[in-house]
Amino acid sequence: MRSEREASPSPASSARFEICQIIGRMMELWGFRKNLGRIWTLLYLQDAALSAAEIAEQLSISRGSASMALQELLRWGVVRKSWKPGERKDFFEAEENVPKMVLRVLNERELPAINEAIGALRGVLRGIEADGGGVSDPTLSRRTRDLLGITETGRTLFLGLLGSEGAGAPAWDVLLGGKEEPR
């Protein structure tokens, strides 16, 4: 028979689980699956690498779901495999440099989407202008230009955040309040 102490999670375990839930929900807002955020967070909060089975157990998800999410996180470069001597299974660790990780995602996922939207809006605007320069619907023409301008401003902000060649250091220094992120 298990004791009451064994049956209930430790305060640290409960806190870790709750933090994983919080970050998982935030990742959903960015369009990622919740388990991607939960798994990365669990690994980030650990001082040792975990196996897929350990991750699945701690987050109460299936091993298959954990494995699929880990493969996606590996593709994004936000987790990496590690090995333990004498073990045949893979273990996983989180990328600890959060600004570097966020900037990579912004550069590889968000910036191309913004560039695609700009191209599409320019194409629509060319069509509007070819059809009489917006004379037939000046509101449509003006507001399409406004949306294009807003989107181009967004891209400029992203590029400023990413810095030269995606480095992003100056912007992150400002965002982190002048604190240097541990590497």
| pLDDT tens, residue by residue, 46-91 | 999 999 999 999 999 999 999 999 999 999 889 999 988 888 899 9
pLDDT category of residue 43 using cuts at 50, 70 and 90:
very high
Kindly state whether residues 84 and 155 are assigned to the same domain: no
Q: In which domain, by residue range, is 160 found?
A: 98-175
In this structure, are residues 27 and 33 in contact, taking their beta carbons and an 8 Å threshold?
yes
Domain membership flag for residue 181: no
Work out how many domains the chain is built from and give that number.
Answer: 2
pLDDT category of residue 162 using cuts at 50, 70 and 90:
confident
CA distances from 157 to 70, 143, 177 (A): 31, 21, 18
Kindly state whether residues 88 and 9 are assigned to the same domain: yes
Kindly state whether residues 156 and 171 are assigned to the same domain: yes
Q: In the listed set 64, 94, 124, which residue is the last one of a domain according to the structure?
A: 94
Give dist(CA 68, CA 132) in Å, integer. 52
CA distances from 183 to 46, 54, 98, 167, 174 (A): 16, 26, 9, 14, 17
Q: In the listed set 40, 63, 94, which residue is the last one of a domain according to the structure?
A: 94
Kindly state whether residues 122 and 83 are assigned to the same domain: no
The count of other CB atoms within 10 Å of the CB of residue 81 is: 11
Task: Indicate whether this model's pTM tops 0.75.
Answer: no
Domain membership flag for residue 132: yes
Kindly state whether residues 163 and 104 are assigned to the same domain: yes
Give dist(CA 182, CA 79) in Å, integer. 17
**Predicted pLDDT at 3:** 45
Q: How far, in whole angstroms, is CA 161 from its chain's centroid?
A: 15
Domain membership flag for residue 106: yes
**Average pLDDT value for the chain:** 85
Is the model's pLDDT at 97 over the cut of 50? yes
pLDDT in tens, 100-121: 888 888 888 888 999 999 999 9
- Per the model's pLDDT, the better-predicted residue between 6 and 49 turns out to be 49
pLDDT category of residue 164 using cuts at 50, 70 and 90:
low
